[in-house]
Structure 1
Amino acid sequence: MMHRDVIVIGGSAGSHKPLAQALARLPPDLPAVVLVALHVGPGSRATLADSLAASCALPVLSAADGARLEPGRVHVAVPDRHLIVDEGDVLRLSDGPRQNRVRPAVDALFRSAARWCGPRVLGVVLSGSLDDGAAGLAAITADGGIGLVQDPADARFPGMPTAALRVVPDAMTVPATDLGDTIAKIAGEPIIAEGRPPEPLIWETDMIAYGASDTADRGQPIALGCPECTGGMYVVRTGRAAHYVCHVGHSYSPESLLAVRDDSIEEAVWTAVSALEEKVMILEELVGQAKAAGDALAARAHRAEAERAGRAAAVLREHVNRSAGGRTRDGQPGSVSTR
């Protein structure tokens, strides 16, 4: 008989504390393996496992390629590598395409676990911004697994938990202090095997793991270009969830795709503002030259054009300021802030 013996946990901003609280409550004889993916920068040091080990009764390890899924162990994703499950209950570290602009990505771990472990999986979504992990949790529950979400009211950044509950409304919701006890109660439960995972899930997990796939069904083609490689994209729907994936495997959830589009628009607007302001500077120089030459007509023409360019720059600057909530690029009030 199969049992619920694979716990996958994902989080981003504000997730370290609830993760540590959850792991601290797990018993030393937990009948399940725990896999953790937190969004960290590519240049970060692989010290997360060490920081978590002090308060956890289970061995906490930095994930290693080829390690087997064994109950009673915690494997933590390392910087700049996706932590994924592969055939035969083996862990893989992949430098495959980023998902939601990050590697390791929560969705990469969740989807691979859904494909290879099906109903054996309990997916846990912790604090974080935007909607990372939502589509992955939907894949887990669609394949017979269970969803567990940190209470958004309890999360420092409620975006990820809120998005997860939006697409998996029947997921269990508990505060951080109760996550470990809840996981321990669910681990080891007997389960019934499900059928074959959907083809888009097979294709996408193949692309992350191997860079190629024989599966033809990638989802529904959609008139969007990938922000990273400009390739054509597909929309993949899993229950209430939707995410977008390009032909090489870059993947975006809706809010993350909007965020990167906003960044692109903002960059383009700032480029236009800069060009217009440079135009004003050059026209002011021409105004001075025309006045020095006694050509009042040319001076007036250059002045009028400079004023038009200045007004256009001011309109664009005001627009981007309003869109960004009135913050500057370095996060201070008054101008714009990039993500």
Structure 2
Amino acid sequence: MHRDLVVVGASAGGVEALQTLVSRLPAGLPAAVVVVLHMPAGGSSALPTILGRCGKLPVSSVVDGTPVEHGHVYVAPPNHHTVVQDGVLRLSRGPTENGHRPAVNVLFRSAALARGSEVIGVVLSGALDDGTAGMVSIKNRGGLALVQSPEDALYPGMPDSVLRHVDADHVVPASEMGGLVARCVGKGPDAQAGTPASELLRMEVEVSRDDAGAGSGDIPQHGTMTTLTCPDCAGSLVALPNESGQYRCLVGHGWTPDALLDAYNGGLERALWMALRTLEEKTSLARRMASSSRRSGRELVAVRYDDQEEEALAAAAVLRKFLLNPELREDAGA
């Protein structure tokens, strides 16, 4: 066996790092390279064209059933997970991971399950902790972990997170990553390096596939129910027993701790803006009711409406100051 499947994950700031990596891969690389860059769900991606202009390898967008061939770079398209399965690349509309589709973790886990120690995982620039759970799976199965130096990344969150959870084999700047990949491919992995695929890994890969939610019914059996809820569907989250602290809801949406916190922060901010809108509407209505009461000669009723208006105005002023002042929000942990 030889290491001949390279899976690459990137997010914020990742286009530049990907361009640098691909530009340094040699023609005829004896391995296939599969890339996931987190991107918006709508529209098309220009990434295959961008990367195709950078280096010597042909680059194409993944279509369902694409054979995994050496000397080629494959890019996951928007709004579809890319899954390694039976020697080909499959596309899936399975549950999002950390709010993303395609997701780095989905590609990495499926590669670890399908190819074990033949896989080389690469994590480049990105925010939060995307890619960590997938890299844990790659390492557990005997694959190699290559990480962009956090100080070299435009967004060091993803590299930092991987390094906190995984004993990386190499940590280098993007300018050295292509040459490093070329040196690592083709070498025979240590047959004793990996462990058999766990039932947890099999379940998570099945959940990400397109075959009618396969495996989602098994989620509670692999973890512990929590009082936390999924930001995507408001379903209960199950804490899974893996090194990176993954959570899944009962329909399969996956969340890592940092991404879950970030999603909760976003939900809190939306709720606060909604509360501010409600206070503004209350102010407007109280003012109208006070004016109407005075026209009808009901001064005592009008005064009560005046008090409600002042109360709503004061609360709205405090809330608006909090929402528009980043320093106050950071001090409050929002």
1:1-339 alignment, distance < 5 Å: 2-86=1-85, 88-193=86-191, 194-209=194-209, 210=211, 211-213=213-215, 217-239=221-243, 241-322=244-325, 324-325=326-327
Hey, what's the Cα distance between the residues in 2 that align with 1:325 and 1:181? 43
Q: Taking structure 1 as the reference length, what is the TM-score of the superposition?
A: 0.89
Cα distance, 1:185 vs. partner? 1.1
Contact 1:204 1:218 in 2 (8 A): no
Greater alpha carbon shift after TM alignment, 159-168 vs 294-303: 294-303
Q: Tell me the amino acid that sits aligned with residue 131 of structure 2.
A: G
Deviation at 1:313, TM superposition (A): 2.0
Distance in 2, Cα, partners of 1:307 & 1:171: 63
- In structure 1, what residue type is equivalent to 2:75? V
User: What's the offset of the Cα at 1:69?
Assistant: 2.0
Deviations 1:194-236 (A, max 9, x none): 3421212111111111321385743332222222122222222
- SS at the partner of 2:145? strand
Deviation at residue 265 of structure 1 after TM alignment: 1.4
Q: What CA deviation, in whole Å up to 9, does each residue of 1:53-101 have, x standing for no partner?
A: 1222122121121122222211111111111111x22210111111111
Q: 1:227-272: per-residue Cα shift (whole Å, max 9, x none)?
A: 2122222222433x11111222211111111111112111112111
Contact 1:220 1:234 in 2 (8 A): yes
C-alpha offsets along residues 130-165 of structure 1, whole Å, 9 cap, x if unaligned? 211111111111221121111111111111111221
| Cα distance in 2 between the residues matched to 1:235 and 1:117 | 26
What is the identity, as a one-letter code, of the residue corresponding to 1:261?
Answer: Y
Any idea what the Cα deviations from partners look like across 1:98-126, whole Å, max 9, x if unmatched? 11111111111011111111111111111
Aligned-partner SS, 2:246 = strand
Residue identity (%): 40
CA contact (8 A) 2:144 2:168 kept: no
Relative to structure 2, which stretch is displaced further, 7-16 or 261-270? 261-270
For 2:35 and 2:162, how far apart are their aligned partners in 1? 17
Report the 3-state secondary structure (helix = DSSP H, G, I; strand = E; otherwise coil) of the residue aligned with 2:180. helix
1:171: how far off? 4.5
Q: C-alpha separation between the residues in 2 aligned to 1:215 and 1:186?
A: 37
Q: Which amino acid aligns with 1:264?
A: G
Structure 1 residue runs without a partner (length 5+): 328-337
Q: Which one-letter code corresponds to 2:319 in the other structure?
A: L
> SS at the partner of 1:3?
coil
Partner letter of residue 28 of structure 1?
A
Ranges in structure 2 where 5+ consecutive residues have no aligned partner: none
Q: Distance in 1 between matches of 2:234 and 2:307?
A: 40
Q: How many positions carry a matched residue from both structures?
A: 324
Paired residues of 2:142 and 2:195 also in contact (CA < 8 A): no
- Say if 1:120 and 1:219 are closer, same or farther in 2 by CA, change over 3 A: farther
TM-score between both structures, scaled by the size of structure 2? 0.90
Structure 1 counterpart of 2:137, one-letter code = A
**Structure 1 stretch displaced more, 153-162 or 313-322:** 313-322
C-alpha RMSD of matched pairs (Å): 2.1
The 8 Å contact of residues 139 and 238 in structure 1, kept in 2 or not, is answered as no
